[in-house]
Amino acid sequence: MKISRRLSRVLVRIAIHVAAWFVAFLWLLPFMGVFMAAFRPMEEILSGWWDFSSFHPTLKNFIEAWNHPSVPVSMGIVNSLIVAIPATVIPLLCGALAAYVFSRFKFPANDLLFLLIVLLMAVPPQMLAVPLFLLMSKLKLVDNLLGLSLFHSANGLAWIILFLRNYMETLPRDFEDAARVDGASEYQVFFRVVLPCLAPALFSIAVLQFTWVWNDFFFALILIYSPNKLLISQRIPFMKGEYHVPWSLLCAGSVIMMTVPVILYAVFQKYFVKGIIGGTIKG
């Protein structure tokens, strides 16, 4: 009986691993196609990227995408960084302060206001398109990278507050109480005690928020239209011609675009997992 139970457990584990690797392979399959098309000449992928009868890897596609005559990816990276960095830092600080208030202080309509903030996450992006454009037009922020960055900062506040508030609920309050006994103000308690404890959560949020802003196409399409201000996500579609689609060039631009978030995740990976787990325990 014991041997049969152990054998069944081993078989179950093997089946789980096989299923997990199969799902992972299905997720990686599209990326493999993009990656192979980016490093190969156009004529070699006409019959499929999996055809290796002729294989001559090259960096020519990346060079052409980087220095494209009309929509260079290099300028798109600069514009996207101008938008994504402030749109990550601003909501992080504002969201941390708001989450601290919701987590540590009780005031009238606390739960109702927090629920309202959470419900904002359910608003479809398409509902924001016309009001957003009208508002930005009145503020003279259409076709302005600063305007797009401010929108993403406001748009990310709801989920950041929810995430950080849940994470703060898992933190012990002993150190905060001890700091108050020593005469620390609430600002000192937050910046010197609470904020360092939030480091894993802040790194996780920074990675997610930066990636979402970096990959945004919908709102950028609404607010940005000048050729020299186009983000990297807007430039890649303009690389195709009216009668010809250079798939190798498009794939190279896509690989360049995804490189920045991948590097960011690789650098903060150990904080990312810890912050994600802590932020979903309570709530």
Tens digit of each residue's pLDDT (9 = 90 or more) over 7-19 = 778 888 899 999 9
**Domain assignment present for 131:** yes
On the question of pLDDT at 22 being above 70, the answer is yes
Tens digit of each residue's pLDDT (9 = 90 or more) over 265-275 = 888 777 666 65
**226 and 261 share one domain:** yes
What are the CA-CA distances from residue 38 to residues 59, 61, 62, 251, 269 (Å)? Answer: 8, 6, 7, 5, 26
**98 and 183 share one domain:** yes
Burial group, residue 67, by CB count within 10 angstroms (0-12, 13-18, 19+)? exposed
The pLDDT of residue 167 is 87
On the question of pLDDT at 276 being above 60, the answer is no
On the question of pLDDT at 187 being above 80, the answer is yes
**52 and 86 share one domain:** no
The pLDDT of residue 78 is 95
Which tokens go with 187? 């600002």
**157 and 231 share one domain:** yes
Tens digit of each residue's pLDDT (9 = 90 or more) over 60-106 = 899 999 998 889 999 999 999 999 999 999 999 999 999 988 888 88
Closest listed residue to residue 256, CA positions, set 214, 222, 219, 225: 214
Domain span holding position 25:
2-58
